[in-house]
Chains A and B, each alone.
Chain A
Amino acid sequence: MTRTPVEGDLRVRQLRAQQMLRGELAGRDLDEFVEERLLFTKLETAQNWARKNAIFPLGFGLACCAIEMITVIGSPRNDLARFGAEAIRFTPRQADLLILSGRVSIKMAPIIRRLYDQMLEPKWVIAMGACASSAGMFANYAVVQGADKFMPVDVYVPGCPPRPEALIYGIMKLQDKIMGNPDMGWRERYQAYGTEEREAEPPRHEGGLEVPRRG
C-alpha cells in the first residue's frame, strides 16, 4: 500500500520520537505525530482497511482468462491467499469482487448484469484481459465491445491472457482504490493539467465512476 510519505528519513523520525518521549512536542506537532502513529484515525479508514484485506472474489470464469485466474488462486507459486482473497465464493450474495475473466458474449451479458446486481454492496469489478476490457481481438457480432458498456468496471487488467502477476497487480491497485487514496490517475500524480489535447475544465474530483468529460 503506498503510504503517504512521512517527512524526512528514518533519522528525522527517530529525533521526533525522542522529543515526544521527553515531552518537548506540543500543540500541532504532537497531534500530527499521534495522528501519524494511529492507523485507524477514522472508522471509515478502519472499514476500508478491513475490506481491502479480505476481498471475496466471485468464482466467475468465462473463457481463457478464467484458466489464468484459477491458476492465480490455485497454484502455490503466485497465490491470492497472500492478499486475503483466496476465499472464492460462488454465490453473488457472499462475494464482493467480480473478476470478469474472459470474453463477454451478447448472450451472456444480461446474466452478468443480473449477477452484478445481485451482489451485495460494497462491490467492485475487475475486467481481466483484453476481451473483458474492450472485446480485444473479437471485434465482431457476438461479443460485447467491452464490459463497461453495460456495467461499471473498477480496474482493467490488460493482457491476453494477463500473467498471474498482472492480475495480482490489478488486485493490489484495487486495494489502493478501496483504501481510498484516489491518486490513481496519472494526471494528479504528475500535475499534468493543461496538457490535454483540447481545453477542458480541470477534472472534478468526486470519486466513483465519473468518466472525464472531454470535448
Chain B
Amino acid sequence: MLKSYLPALVFLLLGIGVGSAFTLANGLLGPKRPGRVKSQPYESGLPSDVRKSFRFGISFYLIAMLFILFDIEVVFLYPVALQLDAFGVFALVETIVFVVLLLVAFVFVWRRGALEWK
C-alpha cells in the first residue's frame, strides 16, 4: 500500500530539498558584513524612527476573512466536479444546497456593507 504513495513522497522531499538548498546556500556562501546602518529600517534612504510595531487597519483583516471563507468553498467544489457522474444526482443536489447556503451568507455580508472599503 505504501508503494503507491512513493511518488508523492519523492515529490515532497524534492520540494523541501531544493527549497532549503537555495535558502541555506545564501546563508552559507554569502559574505556577511553586519553594520550599524545596515540593520536600521529602510525608509526611502532616510533615517527612520518607525518602531517595529506596525498596526494596520481593521478592514484588511475583514477582507482577508471574507476571502478565506469563499475560497474554501471553491476547494470543496473541485472533487465533486471531477467525480460528478460517479456520485449521480445526489451529489448535484448536495452541492446546490451547499452553494445556496453560502450564497445567503454572501448576500448578508454584502448587504451589511462589509465589502466596501472603509
Decide: A91 near B42, CB < 8 A? Known: A120-B30, A121-B33.
Answer: yes
A127 to B50: give the CA distance in the assembly, Å: 31
CB-defined interface of A31-50 with B at 8 Å, one 1/0 digit per residue? 00000000000010001000
Q: Is A114 positioned at the interface, with any CB of B under 8 Å from its CB?
A: yes
Contact check, B45 vs A112: say whether CB atoms are below 8 A apart: yes
A contact residues, total (Cβ < 8 Å): 14
Contacts of A114 in B (CB 8 A): 37, 45-47
Interchain nearest-CB distance for A57 vs B (Å): 16
Chain A binding surface SS class: helix
Contact of A111 among B31, B35, B45 (CB under 8 A): B45
- Chain B 37-53 per-residue mask, 1 if CB under 8 angstroms from chain A, else 0: 11010100111000000
Partner of B40, one of A47, A118, A121, A122: A118
Considering the complex, give the chain A residue whose CB is closest to the CB of B46: A111
A93 within 8 A of B: yes
CA distance A115 to B37 in the complex (A): 9
Q: A92 to B42, Cβ gap below 8 A?
A: yes
Residues on the A chain within 8 Å of B38, using CB: 117-118, 120
The interface bits of chain A over 84-118 (1 if a CB of B lies within 8 angstroms of the residue's CB, else 0) are 00000001110000000000000000011011011
Residue of A47, A114, A117 with most chain B CB atoms under a 10 A cut-off: A114
Contact check, A117 vs B35: say whether CB atoms are below 8 A apart. yes
A91 to B45, CA, bound (A): 10
In Å, the complex CA distance between A122 and B35 comes to 14
Q: Contact at B31–A122, with CB atoms within 8 Å?
A: yes
Q: Are A118 and B31 in contact (CB under 8 A)?
A: no
Q: Report the bound CA distance from A121 to B26 in whole Å.
A: 11
Q: Which residues of B contact A111 (CB under 8 A)?
A: 45-46
Expressed in whole angstroms, the Cα–Cα distance for A118 and B38 within the complex equals 4
Nearest Cβ in chain A — how far from B38, in angstroms? 6
Contact of B37 among A91, A117, A122 (CB under 8 A): A117
Is B29 an interface position by the 8 A CB rule?
A: yes
Cross-chain contact of A118 among B30, B32, B42 (Cβ < 8 A): B42
Chain A's nearest CB lies how many Å from the CB of B22?
11
Chain A contacts to B: CB under 8 angstroms: 43, 47, 91-93, 111-112, 114-115, 117-118, 120-122
> Which B residues contact A (CB, under 8 angstroms)?
29-33, 35, 37-38, 40, 42, 45-47
- Identify 10 residue pairs between A and B in the complex whose beta-carbon atoms are under 8 Å apart, listed by A's number: A93-B42, A111-B45, A112-B45, A115-B45, A117-B35, A118-B37, A118-B40, A118-B42, A120-B38, A121-B32
Which 7 residue pairs are nearest across A and B when measured between Cβ atoms? A111-B45, A117-B37, A121-B31, A115-B45, A121-B33, A118-B42, A118-B38
